[in-house]
Structure 1
Amino acid sequence: MENSYKYFKNTDCKYFPCHKGLSDDFNCLFCYCPMYSMPNCPGSKTYIEKNGKKIKVCTDCTFPHRPENYDKIIQILIRNNNN
């Protein structure tokens, strides 16, 4: 897949690939997930408790790194921004 506004792959990143088990079309565009602060994001997440605080853990989530989810993420962000 070619780098574009919907897709970016950074193989020079020292953390690449940050998630195992994804195809060659690993999308780095949303390296920091824009849905992290959303409690009902569509990704696979777990929660841990540390110092009495509930912390979202997205280590096993690959949703934002799948190229086919770009449009879904944008729609979620638009919907969330309008609320």
Structure 2
Amino acid sequence: MENSYRFFENRACQYFPCHKLEGDFNCLFCYCPLYNRKHCPGNHTYIEKNGRQIKVCTDCTFPHKPENYDIIIQFLKKPE
């Protein structure tokens, strides 16, 4: 893949694929670097547990789509 530093797929991982996603599956952001961001472009929800809001990203495939690499990098450059 061209620009391979932007893409990594680990088919040997016991959790692969961790989400249902058609096409290329990017494992580069396995642990999403946007998790701690209140405003992120992914598909997240919040649940309340013990009076605290917890971000739930179970259904989010945003960081696993190779075409979203540049968007994630731009979000990481911005302070929140």
TM over 0.5, shorter chain: yes
Q: Given that residues 3 and 9 in structure 1 are in contact (C-alpha distance below 8 angstroms), is that contact kept between their aligned partners in structure 2? A: no
In the TM superposition, what is the alpha-carbon distance from 1:52 to its structure 2 partner? 1.1
RMSD: 1.6
**Structure 1 residues 64 and 4, CA, compared in 2 at 3 Å: closer, same or farther?**
same
Percentage of pairs with the same residue = 70
- CA deviations 1:33-64 (Å, max 9, x no partner) are 00000010000000111111110000000000
User: 2-side partners of 1:2 and 1:78: how far apart?
Assistant: 23
Query: Size of the alignment, in residue pairs?
Result: 80
Give the equivalent residue in structure 1 for 2:12: 12
User: 2-side partners of 1:72 and 1:43: how far apart?
Assistant: 11
Moved over 3 A (4+): none
1:5 aligns to what SS in structure 2? Answer: helix
1:56 aligns to what SS in structure 2? Answer: strand
Q: Which runs of 5 or more structure 1 residues have no equivalent in the other structure?
A: none
